[in-house]
Chain A
Amino acid sequence: MQIPQHTSGEFDPRRAPPHDRQRRVLLGAGATGLLAAATPAVRAQLTIEITGAGANQTPIAVAAFRGEDRTAQALTPIIAADLQRSGLFRMIDAREVSPAPAQPSDVRWPEFVRRGADALAIGSVDPLPDGRLEVRFRLMDVARQAQLTGFSYTVSASQLRLTAHRIADVIYERLTGDVGVFSTKITYVERQANRFELKIADADGANPQTVLASTEPIISPKWSPEGTRLAYVSFERRKPIIYVQSLTSGSRSVVANFRGSNSAPAWSPDGSRLAVVLTRDGPSQIYLIDADGSNSQRLTRSGAIDTEPAFTPDGRSLLFTSDRGGSPQIYRMPVSGGEGERLTFEGGYNVSPRVSPDGRSFTFIQRSSGRFNVAIQDFSSRQVQVLTDTALDESPSFAPNGRMILHATEIKGRGVLAAVSTDGRVRQRLSAGSSDVREPAWGPLLKAQ
């Protein structure tokens, strides 16, 4: 698969797309089979409800792509939903513009000026002789009547949804200057009665696929940095054991099954090692272990609870939760070992740290007046901002562009997933029918091989 694919000539070849510059494509070669094999999922899919929006919203019209109504999956509803969900765009209804423009020369500009659109996405989907489809899209500046960017993609029908997310990423990047994360994936655990399923899904909740199903709990799934493996804790053998499972082959291995409990895996940024919590020497302490389960090495020697390790992006330090000072607080220590430095001081319960992709801040759960909320703290200023107004938040994780934090919460006694922007303005909620959803983790940007 070649996505995105440049066509010089008609499209503006001068502006290299951010995706190409960073040598990222949708999925690495090893994972392309996922798309080809993807069939509609059978179980409950996450649905998204937007509960807050950003202050500055770019008004954008996404015109129906010419020919998309003849394909199995129309692209523009997905593109529009992605942009809307980010909270940074206001969708301008372009459905009445008929026929929808497919080329810049088709655009009747006053129609879009009158509707208040600053940007306009147009495109087409055409069948190719080999059965694949050519998707062409351009992003236009309405005021200047000029093209901002444009791409064509040659894809199979099963790749249309992914292509739509890619196009939304391109639009997002061009108009916000930030990396788009619509084509990334999330993982979470869904519980229905006594059945636990570890799942992965697209960032919009579509295409849920079961990675592991069990009658015993599964917790703490963590994406490997390259996005092809999950580490998690499964209780299937009546005690917590850490596994690593390949998403491409489905094979898995035990990483830590020592005497006592084995939990809280965290990948090192190079994917070679995991920080884990073991109790083989008594108290819950942090250890480093190779991803194949060899060479375990004890890092903390507090005798108190040390848990929830999380690497900083440079791989040199770990943040973790410890009650060595009497209440659970967040500490930082060098991966080489040594004393921990306490980072949180407000309140008696600060847990579950995760460091932002730029390494400047960390998110965590703070308890205040009996409520558990997602908070963010800047490393240098130590300023803390509470981001949510729900009561039982857990398990925060950053989107790979650092703009949103995905977390679990509870609404009316049921576990749901939610996301909040790091400025607290944009909020979304994802729920899966009647089942209980928890333990989310946002996957990485997928790099080219």
Chain B
Amino acid sequence: MSDSRSFAAVSNPDDTSARAWRALATACVAALLAAGCASTPDTAEQSGAQVEERSVGAAGKPSAKDALPQKPVGQPDIGSKPIAAEPAGGGNLPAVLRDPKSLLSKRSIYFDYDSNSVRDEYRPIVQAHARFLLDNPRLRVTIQGNTDERGSREYNLALGQRRADSVRQAMSVLGVTDKQMEPVSFGEERPRRPGNTEADYAENRRADIVYDGEDKPPVGK
């Protein structure tokens, strides 16, 4: 390595080629955006999100396991499926769950910053759903925990889980079994309000009670 000693000079930065590179890259992006891609709405998505898998490389064999549409990545992206509108959901569930006059239409339990205790003001909502689940043993809920966007996504996922689990425990005390409820977390990934004011954050520190068969809970405090 003795000959590399001749490369120890300290010099001023020269950004000529960086500028050229940026210009080139910007032109590329513009061209790509201009190409765009056609989209048509897709309906009839039963449950779960739309997902496309791509193989990176030579055309791969589809996976039998998940049987989801796949395309080799090397192909132009014009085959991409658009985002389907969320179906209204809840068609087969008792209408009272969406009746604004019923406590059962209220699904959100809000939490203080860095807290996972269910505040007293939300006890009636938890009690109403616990009673409803006990009266309707075939129904099942997912309790979805959420957090504001500050901090690590995975740590927030765990904090959201803790909130969901608090609601699960409160319902468990009232007699609901784990067969009828599953606590999960969305962490900071699905904020109801995307802003970053304190009011937005407060709205996102929340657990939602979602009945199987619904895509999203009705929003109401």
Contact = CB atoms under 8 A, between A and B. Distances in A.
B219 interface: no
B113 to A, nearest CB: 13
Given A84-B18, A260-B161, A248 B29 contact: no
A110 B16 CA distance: 22
A152 interface: no
A57 B85 CA distance: 53
A394 B152 contact: yes
Contacts of A220: 153-154
A177 B4 contact: yes
A91 interface: yes
Contact of B49 (A143, A235, A305, A365): A235
A211 interface: yes
A182 B154 CA distance: 29
Given A210-B73, A259-B182, A261-B161, 9 more contacts: A31-B56, A58-B7, A90-B12, A215-B51, A216-B49, A251-B53, A259-B178, A260-B182, A263-B154
10 smallest CB-CB distances across A and B, nearest first, come from A250-B55, A37-B74, A33-B58, A251-B63, A249-B60, A250-B60, A216-B49, A217-B189, A284-B158, A47-B25
Interface residues of A, number: 105
A85 B15 CA distance: 10
B46 to A, nearest CB: 12
Given A305-B158, A308-B152, A212 B17 contact: no
Interface stretch (A3-11, A38-46, A127-135): A38-46
A413 B195 CA distance: 9
B196 to A, nearest CB: 8
6 contacts: A33-B57, A39-B74, A92-B14, A235-B189, A351-B151, A395-B153
A154 interface: no
A116 B7 CA distance: 11
Contacts of B165: 279, 282-283
A174 B4 CA distance: 8
B197 interface: no
B132 interface: no
B60 A210 contact: no
B153 to A, nearest CB: 5
Nearest to A205: B25
Interface of B: 1, 3-4, 6-18, 20-22, 24-26, 28-29, 32-33, 35, 37, 47-63, 65-66, 70, 72-78, 80-81, 83-84, 142, 144, 150-155, 157-159, 161-162, 165, 178, 182-187, 189-190, 196, 210
Interface in A394-437: 394-395, 413, 432-433
A143 B4 contact: no
Interface in A369-398: 372, 392, 394-395
Contacts of A212: 51-54
Contact of B73 (A90, A177, A193, A209): A209
A328 to B, nearest CB: 6
B157 A38 contact: no
Contacts of B152: 308, 321, 328, 351-352, 365, 394-395
Contacts of B50: 213-215, 236
B159 to A, nearest CB: 7
B185 A261 contact: yes
A234 B152 CA distance: 17
B63 A307 contact: no
Contacts of A246: 55, 60
Interface string A43-61: 1110111100101111100
B28 A45 contact: yes
Contacts, number: 296
**Chain B CB within 10 Å, residue with most, of A41, A45, A251, A352:** A251
Interface of A: 30-31, 33-34, 36-45, 47-50, 53, 55-59, 77, 80-81, 84-85, 90-93, 116, 118-119, 141, 143-144, 146, 148, 174-175, 177, 193-195, 200, 205, 209-217, 219-220, 234-240, 245-254, 259-261, 263-264, 277, 279, 282-284, 305, 307-308, 321, 328, 349, 351-352, 365, 367, 372, 392, 394-395, 413, 432-433, 439
Contacts of B59: 37
A50 B154 CA distance: 29
Nearest to A34: B57
A437 to B, nearest CB: 13
A59 B17 CA distance: 13
A17 B112 CA distance: 59
A395 B17 CA distance: 29
Contacts of A328: 152, 155
Contact of B151 (A30, A194, A372): A372
A260 B161 CA distance: 8
A51 to B, nearest CB: 10
Given A248-B60, A261-B185, A175 B4 contact: yes
Contacts of A365: 151-152
Given A210-B77, A211-B56, A279-B183, A42 B32 contact: yes
A285 to B, nearest CB: 10
Contact of B32 (A43, A93, A209): A43
